[in-house]
Structure 1
Amino acid sequence: MSKIIKIKNLKKLKINKCPICKKGVTINFDPFCSKKCSDIDLYNWISEEYYFPENNKSQSE
C-alpha cells in the first residue's frame, strides 16, 4: 500500500515564458516554445533588430 506524503513549503514550479510569443517553454526548444519562435529570434539577430550597444567611452584614457 502506498502512502501519500504532504510536503510543506514546496516552492512553486517556475514556468518560463517564450520571449517571442510568451507561451510556455518546451524542453526541445528552450528558451523558446517552438522552432518557429526560435527561427524568429535568429532572424532578429541576423537582421540586426537585436544588437549590443557600442561602448562610447573615449580611447584616449
Structure 2
Amino acid sequence: MKEEERILCLDHYEHGIVINALNTLRNGLIGERRSTDAVDDLLLKAIDAPYNKGKYRRQHASR
C-alpha cells in the first residue's frame, strides 16, 4: 500500500511555532525519560522542509 503524502504550507511565523512546539514536546519526553525518536524525526523533517516554489497555492477556509 502506497503511503500518502501531505503538503502543509506555513509562513515563517507558523513554521517557527511548529519547531518550538516539537522542541517543547521533545524536552518534555526527555524529562520523562521516554523515547524521542518519532519527535526527533519529525523535528528534522520540519527544519529541513523545502520552501514552496509556487507549486502549491495557499488556501484559507473562511472562519
TM-score where L is the length of structure 2: 0.28
Larger radius of gyration: 1
- Name the one with the larger helix percent: 2
Structure with more relative contact order (C-alpha pairs < 8 Å, separation 6 or more): 2
